[in-house]
Amino acid sequence: MVSWLVFAVDFFVHERLLVNFMGTRVGKFDLTIVVLTAPWFLVAGAHAGGFVVILRLARLSRLLIATKGVRRLFARLGRVAIVAASVLFVGGTMAYFAEHPTNPEFATFGDAIWWATVTLTTVGYGDIVPITTAGRVDATAIMFMGVALLGLLAGSLANFFGLQSGEPTPQQPATTDDAVLAELAQLRAEVKVLTDLRVQLAALTRHLTDGTGGGDTSRAPSGDA
CA–CA gap between residue 100 and residue 118 (Å, rounded): 18
* Burial (CB count within 10 angstroms: exposed 0-12, middle 13-18, buried 19+), residue 10: middle
Q: How many CA atoms lie within 13 A of 39 on its CB side?
A: 9
Using one digit for the tens of pLDDT, what is the confidence trace for 71-122? 777 788 888 889 999 999 999 999 999 999 999 999 999 999 999 999 998 8
Distance set, CA 157 to CA 72, 171, 206 (Å)? 10, 18, 70
Q: Which amino acid is at 182?
A: A
Instruction: DSSP letter for 147, please.
Output: H
Averaged confidence pLDDT in the chain: 72
In the chain, % helix, strand, coil (3-state, to 5) comes to 80, 0, 20
113, 138 Cβ separation under 8 angstroms = no
CA–CA gap between residue 105 and residue 120 (Å, rounded): 18
Domains and CATH numbers, the chain: 2-66 (no CATH), 70-160 (1.10.287.70)
For residues 127 and 217, the model is more confident at 127
pLDDT band at 37, cuts 50/70/90? Answer: low
How many other C-beta atoms can be found within 10 angstroms of the C-beta atom of residue 22? 13
Average the pLDDT over 40-68 and give the result.
53
Q: Which amino acid is at 210?
A: D
% of the chain residues with pLDDT over 70: 55
CA–CA gap between residue 109 and residue 204 (Å, rounded): 99
> What pLDDT, on a 0 to 100 scale, did the predictor assign at position 91?
93
165 has a pLDDT exceeding 80: no
